[in-house]
Structure 1
Amino acid sequence: MTDTLAPAAQATASFLTDGATSVLDDAKRQLAAAIDILGYDDGLHAMLAVPRREMTVGVPLRRDDGTQQVFIGHRVQHSLTRGPAKGGVRYSPHVTLDEVRALAMWMTWKCALLDVPYGGAKGGVALDPAALSMSELERLTRRFTTEILPIIGPERDIPAPDIGTDERVMAWMLDTYSVASGYTVPGVVTGKPLALGGSRGRASATSRGVVHVALRALEHVAVPASGRTAAVQGFGKVGRDAAKFLTDADISVVAISDQYGAVYNGAGLNILDLADHVDKTGRVVGFSAAEALPPHELLELDVDLLVPAAVESVITVENAPRVRASVIVEGANGPTSTAADEILARNGALVVPDILANAGGVVVSYFEWVQGNQAYWWNAQDVEDRLSEKMSRAWDDVVSTARIRGLTLRAAAMVLAVERVADAHLLRGLYP
């Protein structure tokens, strides 16, 4: 008998401990902490950590000028234990396999926490969509869909929009899959146009979910209802509507940023006017009713609520000591590093984790999938009421678990989610 691991075991150990990007490191650390609290053994830890299936594909594209270029795409299915895999597709120059692995893992916990019968998945292609023409983007999307066709489907893996993609991209994916199947398959994607079976409320669902839990969190820390202030990092799919809904809730949004810069108005920004400005110029900078703000300072403003709703790893060990918001609600996936999380907790900030805060999108994606399978569509109020109920129940579950176990909200959310996936795995057993 020796201590040498078999090759398969070595590969598993390597995935759990080595060679990861920072965002995957954070995802692994969060899982490991939950495993430790729950007392699970190494075998179950590996089952919960290692993706069930990964596909990396070359995506050839014929450019408009006749030249050819090959892009790299990925689709990772982290878990299939509680149902088909679910997760977005992003087009970004920064897409890597490790990033997709981390995002797929977080999707598993998100679905379990919100009690949605899915496992987690994620996909992406490493490219700048702004550098492609519309016809090039369509050809690339159709080819990427064809490449991952063997592993997606309404009972297997259901893509949705993410950074750099939208309902138009989902329509192309739907059509490509349906043509290959020989009949229309509306349940293969969510986040698609209403005319193709999309759900009312899907486009703004993540933002609504963020604001639902933000209001509960502000009440939880007893921030007075009058005079509440907020800063929102990001003015895209999540940040734009989140800022509007916060304003509708009488919260003064004093600062907003995008990839080009940030703007500030201590009396509160007019979100509709800012949105008009962005529609015309493509960026928040230059908005006449606000002053320019260095983007990094937005995270450090003295506000009641901070909503990082852009990309991963923006609150770090370097800037966390200067974050002054009482409540941080993670509209983006993984915006806070593990080390920064510990600093924020010591400083008394309440962090609402991404797997709870931004779960509104997957909840309404689930509603869209159900509606498509039934060929019966709900009205906007039905969707909003069901979303509110799901988010409120998850908030109550997380707060209760945090109180009983003496945990942060992130640790409590992870423990709940991991336990639900582990229970499902143990009930199903291991085949063969």
Structure 2
Amino acid sequence: MSKFTDNSRPSYLSQNDLGPWGVYLQQIDRVTPYLGSLSRWIEILKHPKKILIVDVPIEHDNGEVFHYEGYRVQHNILRGPGKGGVRFHPDVTLSEIIALSGWMTIKNAAVNIPYGGAKGGIRVNPKNLSNNELMRLTRRYTNEISSIIGLNKDIPAPDVGTDMQIMSWMMDTYSTKKNYTIPGIVTGKPISIGGSFGRQKATGRGVFIIGSKIASKINLNIINSKISIQGFGNVGSVAANLFFKAGAKIVAIQDDKTTIYNPNGFNIPKLQKYVTFTRSIKDFNEGEKINDSKEFWSIPCDILIPAAIEDQITINNANNVTAKIILEGANGPTTTEADDILRDKGIILAPDVITNAGGVIVSYFEWVQNLSNLLWTEQEINLRLNNIICNAFNAIWELANTKKVSLRTAAFIIGCTRVLQAHKTRGLYV
């Protein structure tokens, strides 16, 4: 646990519950002893550069005016513009957004793309809004954060509860304010307005690539391997489909409503079509429904993919996990205490900062294409993605073995070193 003096404890942290940001700080503390002389600058990574809290008032279709709280946080921009998604979710908190921005800093440095870390969000349930209400919310939020985002300042992207349409509205709002079209202000856009081929499936593809790399390292045959996935959205469903095509059996799936189990494996393309129409795995006619969602974690499998939200694998369920490999498709799904339990059990955990980095890597490609007025093919995109994420993983795996540390600690050593070296080189402005 990070230690704070009265003067150093940020005001957005409660006394008893540090939340997701506290988990991030614990991870930073764990890696500090491995940073040598650069540890002198470690406080840089514990203090977000800029936090913006905005009021987002909109008129609902019934004429009532509602106020929503929104955030945009730039954690660190030493290595380039801030980069990170925008989350629309009823449980969004400032602690969560700050933590996610910190993880983006480490992630972008760990895979060595020239971005800093940022994140944004609104505390809202987008499912309760009409399309017009969602558009008004997005446009007003974009206007409120427009002072700190920019083509070379901070580039938003989709996250939980947002999609290509949200990015389209954000791009249009920002461009209208500037009186010319600026495609690169956001990534994750439709192809028709400057999006990139391969972006929508990039995060799930990265999960599959990392999973395949680790499986080969430990001689686990993907064919007929059993996989459990929490979250069947953009990340989980894409990863499931790629593993299914590779011959794996997806035996358990959990979304926010239901847990389903089939020891023979689900027909993933069929399930994807079903979810497209129903927006849930509920009542899918293959397998059985498990009423107690907690049982999901103890279902026998070779690979477990938490691809929903943070704080899912905790001290309360980590001992129940049977998988050989955990692939963090979500950001921050495992608490620090659970990390220790899983490692003691001999489970290999591929951390979020490398496992789900495919999305931001292809976002970088989209941004570069926008800046240069280029359009790469999907084959080119996938090849570039594979090269970057595999090179990053190989370096993390080698360092973990050399230092005798977990893959998470190795990834943080590499990420923190790059950020702090940039700070040391640039110097302190006084």
Secondary structure, aligned partner of 2:87: strand
Structure 1 match to 2:353: 355
Contact 2:13–2:95 (Cα < 8 Å) also in 1: no
Secondary structure, aligned partner of 2:76: coil
Residues 322-346 of structure 1: CA deviation (Å, up to 9, x unaligned): 1000000000001111000000000
1:341 maps to amino acid: D
Structure 1 match to 2:8: 12
Equivalent residue for 2:176, pick from 175, 179, 195: 179
Contact 1:16–1:28 (Cα < 8 Å) also in 2: no
1:140 maps to amino acid: L
Secondary structure, aligned partner of 1:86: strand
Contact 2:143–2:173 (Cα < 8 Å) also in 1: yes
Deviation at 1:192, TM superposition (A): 0.6
The answer to whether the aligner puts 1:275 opposite 2:272 as a matched pair is: yes
Structure 1 match to 2:33: 36
Deviation at 1:263, TM superposition (A): 1.1
The answer to whether the aligner puts 1:217 opposite 2:224 as a matched pair is: no
Equivalent residue for 1:69, pick from 66, 81, 95: 66
Residues 326-376 of structure 1: CA deviation (Å, up to 9, x unaligned): 000000001111000000000000000000000000000000000000101
User: Structure 2 CA distance, aligned partners of 1:52 and 1:254?
Assistant: 43
Secondary structure, aligned partner of 2:346: coil
Contact 1:21–1:99 (Cα < 8 Å) also in 2: no
1:344 maps to amino acid: L
Structure 1 match to 2:92: 95
Structure 2 match to 1:47: 44
User: Structure 2 CA distance, aligned partners of 1:16 and 1:100?
Assistant: 11
User: Structure 1 CA distance, aligned partners of 2:28 and 2:13?
Assistant: 12
1:364 maps to amino acid: V
Contact 1:113–1:394 (Cα < 8 Å) also in 2: yes
User: Structure 1 CA distance, aligned partners of 2:52 and 2:7?
Assistant: 17
Structure 2, gaps ≥5 residues long:
none
Structure 1 match to 2:428: 430
Deviation at 1:282, TM superposition (A): 2.2
Structure 1 match to 2:311: 313
Q: What does 1:327-366 align with in structure 2 at a 5 Å threshold?
A: 327-366=325-364
User: Structure 2 CA distance, aligned partners of 1:399 and 1:220?
Assistant: 10
Deviation at 1:299, TM superposition (A): 2.0
Secondary structure, aligned partner of 1:383: helix
Q: What does 1:6-405 align with in structure 2 at a 5 Å threshold?
A: 11-14=7-10, 19=15, 21-39=18-36, 44-293=41-290, 294-405=292-403
Secondary structure, aligned partner of 1:395: helix
Contact 1:110–1:356 (Cα < 8 Å) also in 2: yes
Secondary structure, aligned partner of 1:12: coil
User: Structure 1 CA distance, aligned partners of 2:423 and 2:96?
Assistant: 25
1:415 maps to amino acid: I
Structure 2 match to 1:3: none
User: Structure 2 CA distance, aligned partners of 1:87 and 1:280?
Assistant: 29
Secondary structure, aligned partner of 1:101: helix
- Compute the TM-score of the two structures, normalised by the length of structure 1: 0.95
User: Structure 2 CA distance, aligned partners of 1:27 and 1:115?
Assistant: 20
Secondary structure, aligned partner of 1:389: helix
Deviation at 1:36, TM superposition (A): 2.2
2:345 maps to amino acid: N
Secondary structure, aligned partner of 1:150: coil
User: Structure 1 CA distance, aligned partners of 2:119 and 2:222?
Assistant: 38
- Call closer, same or farther: CA 1:285–1:70 in 2, change over 3 Å: same
User: Structure 1 CA distance, aligned partners of 2:315 and 2:36?
Assistant: 29
- Compute the TM-score of the two structures, normalised by the length of structure 2: 0.96
Structure 1 match to 2:417: 419
- Call closer, same or farther: CA 1:110–1:61 in 2, change over 3 Å: same
Contact 1:91–1:127 (Cα < 8 Å) also in 2: yes
Secondary structure, aligned partner of 2:229: strand
User: Structure 2 CA distance, aligned partners of 1:13 and 1:98?
Assistant: 13
Contact 1:15–1:50 (Cα < 8 Å) also in 2: no
Secondary structure, aligned partner of 1:238: helix
User: Structure 1 CA distance, aligned partners of 2:343 and 2:261?
Assistant: 27
RMSD: 1.5
Indicate the larger mover: 16-25 or 251-260.
Answer: 16-25
Contact 2:58–2:66 (Cα < 8 Å) also in 1: yes
**What is the percentage of aligned positions where both structures have the same residue?**
42
User: Structure 2 CA distance, aligned partners of 1:208 and 1:298?
Assistant: 23
Contact 1:71–1:127 (Cα < 8 Å) also in 2: yes
User: Structure 1 CA distance, aligned partners of 2:407 and 2:283?
Assistant: 38
User: Structure 1 CA distance, aligned partners of 2:40 and 2:404?
Assistant: 27
Contact 2:189–2:195 (Cα < 8 Å) also in 1: yes
Indicate the larger mover: 277-286 or 232-241.
Answer: 277-286
Residues 169-225 of structure 1: CA deviation (Å, up to 9, x unaligned): 000000000011110011100001100000000000000000000011111222134
User: Structure 2 CA distance, aligned partners of 1:298 and 1:283?
Assistant: 17
